[in-house]
Amino acid sequence: MIRSIRRLAVVFGILMVAILGNLTYIQFVTAAQVRTQPGNSRVLLEEYSRQRGPILLGSTAIASSIPTNDQLRYLRQYSNGPLYAPATGFYSVVYGATGIERTENSVLSGSDDRFFVDRVQQLFAGRGVKGGAVRLTLDPKAQAAAYQGLAGRTGAVVAIDPRTGAILALVSSPSFDPNLLSSHNPSQIRKAYDAYNADPAQPMLNRPLAMTLPPGSTFKLVTAAAALESGKYTPSTEVPGPAELPLPNSTRSLKNWSGTACGPGGKTTLQNALAVSCNTAFASIGMSLGADALQAQAEKFGFNNSFTVPLRAATSRFPSGLDQAQTAMAAIGQFDVTASALQMAMVGAGIANNGQVMSPYLVAQTLSPELEVLQNAEPTPFAQAMTPANSAALLSMMVSVVDQGTGSNAKISGVSVGGKTGTAQTAPGKPPHAWFVGVAPATPGQAQVAVAVVLQNGGGAAEISGNKLAAPIARAVMEAVLGR
Amino acid sequence: MSAPSSTTAPPADVPRYRQPTRRGAEGGLLVAAFVVGSAAYLQIDLAVLGHIDAGSFPALLAVAALLLVLHVSVRVLAKYADPIIVPVVATLNLLGLAMIHRLDLAEAVRAQRNGTPVPAPDVNTQLTWTMLGVLLFVAVLVVVRDHKVLQRYTYTSLFVGVVLLLLPLAPWIGATVNGATLWVRVAGLSFQPGEIAKILLTIFFAGYLTVKRDSLAFVRTKVLGVELPRGRDLGPLFVAWFVSLGILVFEKDLGTSLLFFGLFVSLLYVATQRRSWLVLGAVLFILGATFAYFAFGHVRLRVDVWLHPFGDEAGNSYQIAQSLYGFASGGMFGSGLGQGFPQLVPYAKSDFIIAAFGEELGLIGLMAMLVLYGVIVERGLRTAIACRDVFGTLLAAGLSISLGLQVFVVVGGVSRLIPLTGLTTPFLAQGGSSLVANWIAIGLLMRVSDTARRPDTDVVALEDAPTQVVPR
B216 against A226, higher pLDDT: A226
Q: Is the pLDDT at B9 greater than 50, yes or no?
A: yes
CA dihedral B6, B8, B12, B13 (to 10 degrees): -80
Tens digits of residue pLDDT in B275-320: 888 888 889 889 988 988 898 888 888 888 899 888 887 778 888 9
Contact A5 B381 (CB under 8 A): yes
CB contacts of B377 in chain A (<8 Å) are: 9, 12
The Cα of A105 is separated from the nearest Cα of chain B by a number of Å equal to 19
pLDDT confidence of residue A156? 93
Packing angle of the helix pair B85-114, B353-386 (nearest 10 deg): 170
d(CA B136, CA B143): 10
Across the interface, whether the CB atoms of B412 and A19 are under 8 A apart is answered yes
C-alpha–C-alpha distance, residues A246 and A252, integer Å: 7
Chain B residues with CB inside 8 Å of A27's CB?
A: 327-328, 330-332, 358, 362-363, 366
* Closest by CA position to A255, among listed A277, A271, A236: A277
Q: Mark whether A217 is an active-site residue.
A: yes
Residues in chain A within 8 Å Cβ distance of B401 = 8
Q: State the ipTM, two decimals.
A: 0.89
Q: Give B173→chain A minimum CA distance, Å.
A: 37
**CA distance linking residue B205 with residue B236, whole number of Å:** 10
Choose the weakest-confidence range: A288-297, A434-443, B239-248, B423-432. B239-248
CA distance B297 to B291: 11
Please list the alpha-helical segments (H only) found in A317-426: 324-331, 341-352, 388-403
Residue of A3, A23, A47, A49 to mutate, interface with B, max B Cβ within 10 Å: A23
Q: Per the residue annotation, which of A65, A175, A182, A217 is the catalytic one?
A: A217
Low-confidence residues of chain A: pLDDT under 70: 118-128, 428-429, 458-465
B246 contacts: CB under 8 Å, gap ≥ 6: none
Tell me, what's the pLDDT at A375?
A: 87
Q: What's the pLDDT score for residue B134? A: 97
CA–CA separation, B277 and B269 (whole Å)? 6
CB distance A338 to A214 below 8 Å: yes
Instruction: Tell me the shortest Cα–Cα distance from A221 to chain B, in angstroms.
Output: 55
Domain ranges of chain A: 215-363+379-482
Answer whether A436's CB lies under 8 Å from A290's CB.
no
Q: Tell me which of A56-60, A289-293, B95-99, B468-472 is least confident.
A: B468-472
CATH 3.40.710.10 fits A215-363+379-482, yes or no: yes
Q: What are the two backbone dihedrals, phi and then psi, of residue A367, each rounded to the nearest 5 degrees? A: -125, 150
